[in-house]
Structure 1
Amino acid sequence: MDTSMIKGLAIGAVSVVALSASGIVGYKTLVRPSYAEVLAVKDIKEKVRTPREECQDVPVQKRAAVEDRNRIAGTVIGGVLGGLVGSQIGRGGGNTVATIAGAAAGGYAGNSIQKDMQNKDVVSTVEHRCKTVFDVSEKIVGYDVSYRLDGKEDHVQLAYDPGNRIPVKDGKLVLEPPERAK
């Protein structure tokens, strides 16, 4: 064989190998998937506590204000009544002793009765009372997505629900929401 023929065959063989390789690369580029298949989407949730004020009217009983703190009215009325009862007992000097003793016992009894009455004397009112309560709710903060790309399964977290497929560009997932993807 002639050297020019050998050179031609060598150049031809190299050209065929180069064209075949570029064809394979071009084919792989053409058959590269443009989407990854979504297998499952799971919500990522977060609990949110929202404060609010809750008010209600509550009936309240308070001890009434005491106008006669020393219970003078009860002591005087009891003393007068006790003195009248005591004056009905005995004659002469015994009558005076019985009247004084009756007045003293009546004064003490009147004071005690007024004290009990004052302790039981209450005033009913309604108070408006408020407190902070928390409502608990769940908020979706993202999505855990399982997908298949080129026969391999994997997962990724996204801020949006991708539906049933995720766009792929240059063999990589496009993770931006579709309206922002360029």
Structure 2
Amino acid sequence: MKTRYAAIPLALAALTTGAAQAFDRPGGVFYDQARVVDVRPVKELVRVAAPAQECWTQPVRHVQQTGPSTGAYTLSGAMIGGVLGNQIGKGDSRNAATVVGGVAGAVIGNSMAQSRQQTRVYTTQEQQCQTVERFYEEERHVGYRVTYRYQGQEYTRTMPYDPGRTVRVRVSVDPID
């Protein structure tokens, strides 16, 4: 029990000795503890961008050709026309008749193929998407507004952390001329 009470004056002596020795240093600067009397979180609104995807359905028009290939009909017509022209032509005009018959047959074959083709037009709904930036406001923690008392005076400062019950203070003592 006696040891316990004896430790209190020793602790007080150690605390005051450090402060008294600090005044002997050049510049008269020392560090001490101040009691914290109030701590409040400091928050601010921040505008934040977030990418978002917007999608919608859109009508798309399609055109489709159905029926026989025009190439096959054109080629068949050219061959048949060439054979017929060759049969009709005589002597030196046979080659010319073959060419004319081939061209005429190709034109007739192509025309027949196109007359048999059908055009089908239809519409489908297709999904289209794009990425856009959406903005929202968010409250963010930026520090603590700390009020502390030292030597009977109250001081307030913003700090990046909550200091707890006490805060370390830097005390500077300079003579006034």
Q: Could you say which TM-score interval applies, normalised by the shorter chain?
A: 0.3 to 0.5
Q: Taking structure 1 as the reference length, what is the TM-score of the superposition?
A: 0.40
Q: Taking structure 2 as the reference length, what is the TM-score of the superposition?
A: 0.41
Which has the larger share of strand?
Answer: 2
